[in-house]
Amino acid sequence: MVCIGLDGLKTIGVKLKNTSKSIRTSSDTLILTIKSNFFVIVWLLQIAFYFLALIDWLLKRIGISFKILSLSLYFVFSNATVVIAFYKFLRGERFAA
């Protein structure tokens, strides 16, 4: 993903009022992202992907399994285990000798 800062916007001719770089950069990026159909579609697809993982997890708890949904659940659980392992690493926990 390409992120254009305030200097890049001025270069391509976008006029901004009261440009305090530290405050305006985040809000300007958010505004540009919301106005872009591409980023809204990507955001909705990401939400749908996580929703499918939730649906698969709930269905597995009652004994129903769909192979196509398992991919999203595997991805989410894999990332969750990486975050948990990194947290435990930072705390100094060790499981191997």
Q: Tell me the C-alpha distance between 58 and 76, whole Å.
A: 14
Q: Mean pLDDT, the chain, as a whole number?
A: 77
What confidence category does residue 3 fall into, taking pLDDT thresholds of 50, 70 and 90? Answer: very low
* Structural contact between residues 65 and 59, judged by C-beta atoms closer than 8 angstroms: yes
Domain ranges across the chain: 1-35, 40-97
Q: What is the pLDDT of residues 46-60, one digit of tens each?
A: 999 999 999 999 999
pTM above 0.75, yes or no: no
What percent of the chain stands above pLDDT 70?
66
Residue 66 or 28, more confident:
66
- Greater pLDDT, 78 or 31: 78
Q: pLDDT digit string (tens) for 7-33?
A: 554 544 555 555 455 555 566 666 767
